[in-house]
A and B are shown apart, each in its own frame.
Chain A
Amino acid sequence: MPAPIRLRELIRTIRTARTQAEEREMIQKECAAIRSSFREEDNTYRCRNVAKLLYMHMLGYPAHFGQLECLKLIASQKFTDKRIGYLGAMLLLDERQDVHLLMTNCIKNDLNHSTQYVQGLALCTLGCMGSSEMCRDLAGEVEKLLKTSNSYLRKKAALCAVHVIRKVPELMEMFLPATKNLLNEKNHGVLHTSVVLLTEMCERSPDMLAHFRKVSLVPQLVRILKNLIMSGYSPEHDVSGISDPFLQVRILRLLRILGRNDDDSSEAMNDILAQVATNTETSKNVGNAILYETVLTIMDIKSESGLRVLAINILGRFLLNNDKNIRYVALTSLLKTVQTDHNAVQRHRSTIVDCLKDLDVSIKRRAMELSFALVNGNNVRGMMKELLYFLDSCEPEFKADCASGIFLAAEKYAPSKRWHIDTIMRVLTTAGSYVRDDAVPNLIQLITNSVEMHAYTVQRLYKAILGDYSQQPLVQVASWCIGEYGDLLVSGQCEEEEPIQVTEDEVLDILESVLISNMSASVTRGYALTAIMKLSTRFTCTVNRIKKVVSIYGSSIDVELQQRAVEYNALFKKYDHMRPALLERMPVMEKVTTNGPAEIVQTNGETETAVLETKPPPSGLQPANQANDLLDLLGGSDITPVIPTAPTREPASAGGELLDLLGDLNLTGSPVFAPAPQIAQPPFLLDGLTSQPLFNDIAAGIPSITAYNKNGLKIDFTFERSNTNPSVTVITIQASNSTELDMTDFVFQAAVPKTFQLQLLSPSSSVIPAFNSGTITQVIKVLNPQKQQLRMRIKLTYNHKGSAMQDLAEVNNFPPQSWQ
């Protein structure tokens, strides 16, 4: 059989192939030849064949049938074989292969070979891709070689140890003794790899870190670094006039780890850091690489402020550098330090903002993040201008983040409501389709709360969607606003800018277009339909048209729309008397966190209030302790705790006090926190639809009672019953103070027997002014499905005349009409 062709020959041949198919043919032919050669166990040409196989592997063709051959090459005595064998092993025999472990013995032998270059091959292979088992087996050999005086082997052994530690962290300890003398070497290769090894150990184990701090590693490193800088030109390690930058950077990195959170170590390296920072040449990339690492170290350890300022100034200079890489690196570092050294970074704000206009995507992203971090009350107008411009012109992948960032910043630092609304409008119209889903309810809430801007807002939103209603979030917000404030729109009441003339029909036109349009998402259509419905109470001339629209959608294919339309239809027909109340204007909502309440239902505007009211009550509210004397009164039955569901600013205290009221009771009532409102109380949910807790159609005429009158504190109850739900009684308490001093921190609590349920809304205030000059009102809703006699225990706490007062009382004089 003729000798297999040489490697270079094969390469040349394959490169002449003009098509992929031709190449594949050649390769297949050669592979077949190689395979038969392997089968013949030919020792002479194995090496050549494997080399060819490796080439074909690089082109992307399968080469697994060469794995065992690599093993044979490694076991061979010939150096040429071993070289190719180990190369093949590194390329084909990673730890996922079954035969990987078969290498172990060969490597072990070669680690003890008489020729250092063979040992080197073994160390290299082990250090690049040895599996955990292999590392465990051979760690001892590596450790031995770590102590050799042969620097060629020592440096490789050090990196091999690094790999072993990465694979099997428990073995770290065994390398510790060998590290003692590592840094005494002159050889740079050994020094470098030793620093890497020490770094790995310190990063992984706090014990090691402490140990190395103790054995004065820092002074040693400082000395080495100093020598590097001070010593003259050394041609062997010089790069553009700097002596061994690789070693310098690694030492700086190790110093960073040692100095972190450690005053003594940080102290010891202050001088050298200052020296490096000021003396390093910055004309070439090398110098800047070192400066970069120095800055990172300074910022991360407990350095003195002068040094930190120096570091930030270096970063500032980097920002002005023409080299994009340097700017990139500067922005990354500034982003890391902006929290801790905010003021210093602010000084470079204008340069950072300029970077927004850079062409490089990564630079733009970092500049954007940094800009958001730098916005504050003083610069918000200017920064927003730049950021809005950026939003306009940036790539789509940025728009969502940028929009969210702008919303956040605007919320925190808006100088005026009008500016805030204008900014939001700008974002919605510029990047309306990229705005995140949760932004819509946030915006709606914001608009609701800016009461004086309603007319202006609705006018602007109307104008915005007139031209284009494809951006869903914009359309959703606009629909909602038009639904709420449509009356302001047609009456032309806008103060902030020139009011426009809009007729009711025109408004309905645009909403109907949204409904019909193919571009509108289902959610958006829901918004539009609800808005149209709401306008039935706000518009005067077009109610019939609205009725028609609503009834059309009663047969819509979209189930959500159909349901709404049917319900609204019912509102027109059977419940027309309730319509005004249900569709009343939304009240100012309690401010929630900037992330928005998770439960807000995006579709139906009405339910928003309900959900807000049923926000999870204080976490302090846990059913606690055992029964005792209390509450025999209520016939020995257990008490259900009161659910304070109105959103309060200090939920915790309310919960605690309730626990007090119920003393050491055994609260066997069902869990009454967040889920409760949904489980228990449909009537209350319906309540939530109106902004005021009262029904418009209640039967009047239930006599009010004085529930409590003692020490100058009088509490009256007035009652209302609902026509639609006879189990619900709404009690309004009024507390007045006839003494000559105010009562402060007034808290009213109530408990009812188990068959009842209670809902307590927020009081109007916590101070009862003296001389009956004012009252606190609070609303209690009682659900009494079994029509039992209403009884109540109340607890009052307040401060009066400098002392804390507290009283418990029973209310038994409920008029029959209030519960029968």
Chain B
Amino acid sequence: IHFILLFSRQGKLRLQKWYTTLPDKEKKKIIREIIQIILSRNQKTSSFVDWKDLKLVYKRYASLYFCCAIEDQDNELLTLEVVHRYVELLDRYFGNVCELDIIFNFEKAYFILDEFIIGGEVQETSKKTAVKAIEESDMLQETVEEYMNKPAF
């Protein structure tokens, strides 16, 4: 996977994860372009779009579009499963996740993604294990008191 984008039906970006290095300007341009392409597709089309030398796999969940860019030899149908699994993880963590959860807790969305995918490849195929790791990490986070009292360095 080269990158993952989450955006709303109004075209607002909710999450961007890049597994390749590109200049900022380039990223912005790509995001604009892809959002436009996907938002203009109607219901009757497939979930796959040929774009440059990559394939875009996208799926809409309620008001959010999830879009992955994969290489030529990657399995498109499996990528749909990957997207679905990520949504399931979010759902398990937040409990009936909705777009607002992701807006207000975007950093958590990133943490969850990072427990599922590293460097563009899936690292954990068990839902239970992935969510458990996040929850335990959450526990490690200091409480306000602890935070204030602990020395920084």
Contact = CB atoms under 8 A, between A and B. Distances in A.
Interface string B1-39: 000000000000111101101010000100000000000
A160 to B, nearest CB: 7
Nearest to A193: B123
Contacts of A362: 45-46, 48-50
Majority secondary structure, B binding face: mixed
Contacts of A236: 126-129
B123 A76 contact: no
A349 interface: no
A359 B125 contact: no
Interface in B109-144: 110-111, 114, 118-119, 121-129, 133, 136-137, 140-142
A148 to B, nearest CB: 15
Contacts of B121: 159, 162, 193, 196
A55 B118 contact: no
A786 to B, nearest CB: 61
B151 interface: yes
Contact of B123 (A115, A156, A245): A156
A80 B147 contact: yes
B77 A159 contact: no
Interface residues of B, number: 55
B111 to A, nearest CB: 7
B104 A77 contact: no
A155 B125 CA distance: 11
Interface in B29-81: 44-50, 73, 75-78, 80-81
A237 B81 contact: no
Contacts of A58: 13-16, 106
A237 B125 contact: yes
B81 A289 contact: yes
A327 B76 CA distance: 12
A80 B50 contact: no
A44 B108 CA distance: 21
A283 to B, nearest CB: 14
Interface stretch (A122-130, A431-439, A647-655): A122-130
B91 interface: no
Contacts of B107: 7, 51, 54, 83-84, 87
Contacts of A160: 118-119
B75 A293 contact: yes
Nearest to B77: A289
A117 B126 contact: no
Contacts, number: 174
B82 interface: yes
A115 B85 CA distance: 27
B147 to A, nearest CB: 6
Contacts of B75: 249, 253, 289, 292-293, 296
Contacts of A39: none
| Majority secondary structure of chain A interface residues (helix, strand, loop or mixed) | helix
A77 B153 contact: yes
A608 interface: no
Contacts of A76: 152-153
Interface string A57-74: 011100000000000000
Contacts of B45: 324, 359-362
Contacts of A128: 19, 114, 118-119
B118 A156 contact: yes
Contacts of B125: 188-189, 192, 237, 244, 246-247
A44 B145 CA distance: 11
A77 B141 CA distance: 11
Contacts of B73: 253
B150 A152 contact: no
B104 A83 contact: no
A510 to B, nearest CB: 43
Given A79-B140, A95-B21, A152-B133, 14 more contacts: A54-B106, A76-B152, A76-B153, A77-B152, A78-B152, A80-B142, A120-B137, A127-B118, A159-B121, A163-B118, A324-B44, A324-B46, A325-B48, A327-B46
10 contacts: A79-B137, A80-B141, A115-B140, A120-B133, A159-B118, A249-B78, A289-B81, A325-B47, A362-B46, A362-B48
Interface of B: 13-16, 18-19, 21, 23, 28, 44-50, 73, 75-78, 80-82, 85, 103-104, 106-107, 110-111, 114, 118-119, 121-129, 133, 136-137, 140-142, 147-148, 150-153
Q: Which 7 A-B pairs have the closest CB atoms?
A: A289-B77, A324-B46, A43-B152, A159-B118, A163-B119, A189-B124, A360-B45
